[in-house]
Amino acid sequence: MQIPGVLEARLRLQLEGEYDEFAEACSRPPRTSYRVNTLKASIDDVTSVFDSEPVPWSHTGFYTEARVGDSIEHFQGLLYVQESASMLAAEVLDPVECDCVLDLTAAPGSKTTQMAAMMKNEGCIVANELDSQRLKTLRFNLNRMGVVNTVVSNVDGARFRSKMRFDRVLLDAPCSNLGQLRENPEALKSWSEGNVRRCAGVQRKLMDVAASFLKKDGVLVYSTCTFSPEENEAVVDHAIRKHGLSCEGIGGEFKSRNGLLEWKGKRYGPEVENSVRIYPHENDTGGFFAAKLRR
């Protein structure tokens, strides 16, 4: 895999001497991981069929070498194939049965279905998605997983309107996708500094809406599967400054780095450090970024 020079320079700045380990991990295919859908099956039901090893930061996540995506259990909705680092966002948001949850950019529904299972199919999730083709996949996955506490909406998240306010909001934002290099090396082809700026503009607009729908004391998780500070820490800093949210620490059984406090001459507020950056070589996963914000 040939990482373009400009991108390599950016990553070397972030990785402080671990660039070679990072590049080596990105050149290997990812481990297969899945979540047991506890709406339809117990952990034992599924792990007794597939030789599995727990994902340490997810209650229902497992690694396996089996081809679970081709299995009858997958077809029946007993499991959902999901990249292990991405399981973190819903775990951090931690929705419970009585919550009203907004999932502003939801397709194909990995995290919506994960949250529905955590909520035991109670409470309410509004799952919004702009792309109507991807919305079909979201609906399909909700049906396959037996989710009944979720309504879907098909608008630009930046124009999402509702009289409701939400206890928890997930903004798993569209991004430059560099964290998915292991499964999709093609992400390198569309990478450019211009695209990073474009994504950052969309992410800020989505953040403005996500924050505006959060109830007092409510929790908003902002996540991406990329490494650009413009798409990560800068958006969190914007949420803190413009919407008065606070950024809380995220703990768990994974190796991570704190959010950056400075990038290319821009300084971010001290709370931004509480967000987490996960690089592929640290836990043998995809790349991920998450921040836990509270009103």
What residues act catalytically?
A: 225
What number of CA atoms fall less than 13 Å from residue 227's CA on the CB side? 26
Rounded Cα distance between 56 and 252, Å, is 8
Answer yes or no whether residue 131 interacts with ligand SAM by CB under 6 A: yes
Give dist(CA 288, CA 279) in Å, integer.
Answer: 7
Contact 121, 149 (CB under 8 A): yes
Q: Which is nearer to ligand SAM, 100 or 171 (CB)?
A: 171
Query: Of these, 107, 117, 240, 272, which contacts ligand SAM (CB under 6 A)?
Result: 107
Q: Does 174 bind ligand SAM (CB under 6 A)?
A: yes
Q: Does 193 bind ligand SAM (CB under 6 A)?
A: no
Among 73, 91, 129, 271, binds ligand SAM (CB under 6 A): 129
Which listed residue (33, 47, 110, 203) binds ligand SAM by CB under 6 A? 110
Does 185 bind ligand SAM (CB under 6 A)? Our answer is no
Shortest distance (Å) from residue 158 CB to ligand SAM? 5
Residue 125 C-beta: closest distance to ligand SAM, Å: 12
- Range in contact with ligand SAM (rule: CB under 6 A) among 124-132, 142-150, 185-193, 236-244: 124-132
Contact between 109 and ligand SAM (CB under 6 A)?
yes
In contact, 58 and 91? CB cutoff 8 Å? yes
Task: Supply the minimum distance, in Å, between the C-beta of residue 233 and ligand SAM.
Answer: 18
Size of the site for ligand SAM (CB under 6 A): 18
Among 12, 31, 40, 134, binds ligand SAM (CB under 6 A): 134
Q: Which is nearer to ligand SAM, 2 or 133 (CB)?
A: 133
d(C-alpha 79, C-alpha 60), whole Å: 10
Q: Please report, as residue ranges, which positions from 151 to 170 form the binding site for ligand SAM (by CB under 6 A).
A: 156-158
Q: Is 238 in the site for ligand SAM (CB under 6 A)?
A: no
Question: Cβ distance 169 to 99 under 8 Å?
Answer: no
Structure tokens at 111: 């995290």
Among 111, 139, 204, 277, binds ligand SAM (CB under 6 A): 111
Answer yes or no whether residue 105 interacts with ligand SAM by CB under 6 A.
Answer: yes
> Which residues here bind ligand SAM, judged by CB under 6 A?
105-111, 128-131, 134, 156-158, 172, 174, 202
